[in-house]
Structures are given as structure tokens and as C-alpha cells.
């Protein structure tokens, strides 16, 4: 392999005070009074870098492949420059940078975004559609980040510096809450772990990525509010169907996705028998007088599923209309954190009604009315007792409130 002109092309490390922490390797090309600085996509610990020879030291574990990569990259750039010069074409930093971008994008057959797409494809048969949809949103956020920052993203780029920049982008540019940021980080780390297990990624810095999640409020309907919605005459078939789907969740603890996936054959002998989509857990849920009433209303030999399909977005939209008509107006507080900024507002409860409130309503009312935690967890297929800690405080506060109302 030919030697490139080291007077024109050099390789430098990004400044770092930590000799044992990998840092970025930059290509520097000086031409016609211009200076191109380009990140090679490679990293190395400063202690393994020979700054005089501008290459990795023999003690570095991947010394041959890294040095060969740097040499090939330098030769490519020099050849591109010479070709443009011979043809008397315009030479700018932007033109040379674009040529390097194209080279890296075509040379990296298994780059980060392509690997992420493979991760999504391989998840189809093992994860719920809603989970894959969330994962795809994370991929979109990464692409938006690269577009905004005008950068390429490789596995080697995932470090604490990326952590800081990406987090700032999600919070400052996209105005996302801390909990939404934490969900993106959970997906990103799951993908990087998957990529590492398959040998696509050798950078373990991703394990240091952290995003703090704040405990969200639990919104639920009291028993009186639930009965009010159940018995309300909406005089609108569409709203009544949405109400019935929602109330069925309030009386069974099933997730919205499982309710819509519920087949006629899943219910027999007054019992729902189902394997949940999210956790794949099997559960038997006895019908009670309220869930039985709704079931009897919709059971049919002519349809495969019990309820007609509706999108979660439309469901949530109609639920707010239902809550407003039924006058579910108790004030509730919405608290959101974005970085260190806290936003706080009070709204009528109907504004926070979503399909997921049904499941929380079931759990909370079941606990208030005396059902054991073990039975509730079996019905809802919760594997962790930790997630139920939040409900104990809600139940205790409710009992205290009811004591005050009754006895003063």
C-alpha cells in the first residue's frame, strides 16, 4: 500500500485528559490555505496512540486493522484531491467532506442505522407491535439528531459525550419530558446490547448511558365515577362502544391491546382465558356482573373478535369526550419534568382519560375493595411486586379521604 503525504494529511486525537478512555481520531488535511478536519469514526485510548507517527502503537490490540484503516482513508482522500486537481475542478472543504461521507456510508455495510433496522425486523415475532413502534420512534429520533447536528453516528460514537449531546437535543430541541427521554434510552441500550451480542458493536461505553425517570401520577376513576360513565346514556353508538371497551378494561384489568385482540373463543364458562400480547403471560380472569354484562352485549357467532377494532389515538380522543359529557370534572394535577424544568397544571379529570386509565382503575378499585395483591397481580400478569408499591399510597390516601368525608 502506497504511503500518503504526511505533510498534508495528519491524524490527531480529540483532546482528552483520560489516557485510558477512548477518544475520537480526526483526519486533518491542509490544502491551498484550507484545513479539513474530519472524524474518522474510530476511537482509541490516548495511551495507545503514537502522536509523532500518528498511528496506533504496537501494544494496541487492533493495531494492524486500525492503522491500515487510517492509511487507506488518507490514500483515498489524497487520490480524490489529486483527481480534482488534475481535472482543474473546484476543490472545497465541503466537496472533500462529501466524498469522505459517501465513502464511509458505502464502506460500512453494517452501520448503526442499518443494524437498528435489522434489530427491528428481528423483533417482529418476539415483541408487541406497540413496542416495535416505540423502538422505531427512537431510531427516528437518532436520525433527527444526526440531521440537526450534521454528523454521522457510528457505534464508536456512543459515549458520555454523545450522551450529553443527545439528551440535550431531546430535551431542548424536541421539548420531550424526562420520562419520554428515559424510554428512548431504554430502547437505545436494548439495541446496543443486541448489536454487541452479534459482534456489530465492540464499544461498551453505552453501558454508562443513563436517563432519570420520574414516577408519574396514577390517574384512575373512583367507583362512583366508573358507575357514572357505565350508566350514562350517550345516545351515540360510537361513544357507547368506546365506553364499553374502556369499562371492560376497568372490570377485567386487561390492557387495551388485549381487549381488542380478545376472541369469542377466549371466553367460556364465565372466564376469560388469554395469553397477553405484552408479557406473553397466561391468565384466567373470572367475569363479574359488570364485565359479564358487557360481554353479553357484544358476544356473537358472526364476528371473530369480541370488539370492533379502533386505534388507540381515536380511543383516547373519544374517552375525553365521554368524560366531559359524563361530567368527570374532579381537578387533577399534571406534573411534568423536562431536564430540571418542572411544569405543573391542574385540569378536570376527563382531560387525562386514556385507554391505560382503565387498567389503573381496575387495580386501584380492586385494592380499595379488598382484593388481595397476589390475585390482582395474577390477573394483570404483573411479575414485579415493586410496581405495586405506587398503588398502596393511592389506596391509603383514598381511605383517608373517605374517612374525612364520612366522619369529618
pLDDT digits (tens, 9 = 90+) for 85-135: 999 899 999 999 888 887 765 444 347 888 899 899 988 887 878 889 999
Joined grid coordinates for residue 61: 490490540
CA-closest candidate to residue 176, choices 205, 226, 214, 146: 214
C-alpha cell at 35: 484545513
Counting other chains too, the contacts that 36-40 makes at CB distance below 8 Å and 24 or more residues apart are: 36/93, 36/96, 36/97, 38/97, 38/100, 39/151, 39/152, 40/11, 40/69, 40/70, 40/73
Q: Let me know how many helices (H) and strands (E) the chain has, helices first.
A: 14, 10
Q: At what angle do helices 93-107 and 63-86 cross, to 10 degrees?
A: 140
Per-residue model confidence (pLDDT) at position 408: 65
Task: Assign domain 112-208 to its CATH architecture.
Answer: Orthogonal Bundle (1.10)
First to last CA, the chain: 89
**Cell 502522536 maps to which residue?**
51
Residue 347 sits at the vertex; the CA angle it makes with 343 and 350, to the nearest 5 degrees, is 130
Residues 376, 381, 383, 386: is their CA dihedral positive or negative?
A: negative
- Count CB-CB contacts under 10 A for residue 285: 19
The owner of cell 472524524 is 39
The H or E element containing residue 79 is: helix 63-86
Contacts of 61 (CB under 8 A, 6+ apart): none
Rounded Cα distance between 163 and 160, Å, is 5
State residue 1's pLDDT score.
Answer: 62
Phi, psi of 333 (to 5 degrees): -100, 130
Q: What is the pLDDT of residue 182?
A: 95
CATH code given to domain 223-407: 1.10.443.10
List own/partner pairs for 38-43 with CB under 8 A and 24 or more apart. 38/97, 38/100, 39/151, 39/152, 40/11, 40/69, 40/70, 40/73, 41/104, 41/108, 41/152, 41/154, 41/156, 41/157, 42/66, 42/69, 42/70, 42/156, 43/156, 43/159, 43/203
C-alpha 390: how far from chain center: 22
How many residues appear in the chain?
Answer: 408
* Per-residue model confidence (pLDDT) at position 404: 75
Beta bridge partners of residue 334, listed in sequence order = 345
Any residues with CB less than 8 A from the CB of 292 and at least 6 apart, and which? 270
Residues of the chain with pLDDT under 70: 1, 104-110, 408
So where are the chain's domains?
9-107, 112-208, 223-407
| The pLDDT of residue 393 | 76
- Cβ-contact 394, 221 below 8 angstroms: no
Q: What gap in Å lies between CA 152 and CA 193, rounded to an integer?
A: 20
Distance CA 209, CA 159 (A): 8
- DSSP secondary structure, 232-249, as one string: -----HHHHHHHHHHHHH
Amino acid at each position: 500500500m502506497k504511503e500518503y503525504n504526511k505533510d498534508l494529511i495528519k491524524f490527531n486525537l480529540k483532546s482528552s485528559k483520560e489516557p485510558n478512555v477512548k477518544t475520537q481520531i480526526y483526519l486533518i488535511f491542509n490544502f491551498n490555505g484550507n484545513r479539513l478536519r474530519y472524524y474518522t469514526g474510530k476511537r482509541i485510548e490516548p495511551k495507545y496512540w503514537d502522536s509523532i507517527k500518528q498511528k496506533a502503537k504496537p501494544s494496541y490490540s487492533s493495531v494492524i486493522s486500525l492503522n491500515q484503516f487510517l492509511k487507506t482513508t488518507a490514500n483515498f482522500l489524497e487520490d480524490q484531491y489529486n483527481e480534482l486537481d488534475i481535472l482543474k475542478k473546484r476543490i472545497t472543504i465541503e466537496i472533500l467532506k462529501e466524498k469522505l461521507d459517501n465513502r464511509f456510508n458505502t464502506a460500512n455495510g453494517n452501520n448503526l442505522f442499518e443494524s437498528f433496522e435489522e434489530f427491528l425486523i428481528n423483533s417482529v415475532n418476539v415483541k408487541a407491535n406497540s413496542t416495535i413502534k416505540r423502538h422505531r420512534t427512537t431510531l427516528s429520533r437518532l436520525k433527527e439528531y444526526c440531521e440537526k447536528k450534521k454528523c454521522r453516528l457510528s457505534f464508536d460514537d456512543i459515549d458520555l459525550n454523545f450522551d450529553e449531546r443527545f439528551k440535550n437535543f431531546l430535551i431542548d430541541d424536541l421539548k420531550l419530558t424526562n420520562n419520554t427521554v428515559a424510554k428512548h434510552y431504554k430502547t437505545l441500550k436494548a439495541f446496543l446490547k443486541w448489536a454487541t451480542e452479534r459482534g456489530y458493536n465492540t464499544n461498551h461505553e453505552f453501558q454508562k448511558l443513563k436517563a432519570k425517570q420520574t414516577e408519574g401520577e396514577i390517574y384512575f376513576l373512583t367507583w362512583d365515577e366508573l358507575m357514572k360513565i357505565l350508566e350514562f346514556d350517550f345516545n351515540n353508538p360510537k361513544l357507547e362502544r368506546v365506553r364499553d371497551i374502556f369499562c371492560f378494561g376497568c372490570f377485567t384489568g386487561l390492557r387495551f391491546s388485549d381487549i381488542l385482540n380478545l376472541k369469542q373463543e377466549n371466553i367460556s364458562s364465565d372466564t376469560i382465558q388469554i395469553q397477553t400480547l405484552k408479557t406473553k403471560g397466561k391468565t384466567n380472569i373470572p367475569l363479574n356482573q359488570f364485565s359479564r354484562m358487557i360481554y353479553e352485549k357484544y358476544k356473537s357467532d358472526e364476528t371473530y373478535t369480541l370488539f370492533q377494532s379502533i386505534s388507540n389515538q381515536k380511543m383516547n380522543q373519544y374517552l375525553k369526550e365521554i368524560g366531559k359529557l359524563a361530567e368527570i370534572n374532579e381537578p387533577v394535577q399534571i406534573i411534568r419534568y423536562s431536564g430540571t424544568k418542572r411544569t405543573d397544571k391542574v385540569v378536570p379529570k376527563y382531560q387525562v382519560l386514556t385507554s391505560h386509565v382503565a387498567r389503573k382503575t381496575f387495580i386501584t378499585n380492586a385494592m380499595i375493595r379488598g382484593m388481595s395483591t397476589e390475585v390482582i397481580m395474577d390477573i394483570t400478569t404483573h411479575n414485579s411486586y415493586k410496581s405495586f408499591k405506587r398503588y398502596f399510597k393511592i389506596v391509603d390516601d383514598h381511605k383517608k379521604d373517605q374517612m374525612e368525608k364520612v366522619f369529618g
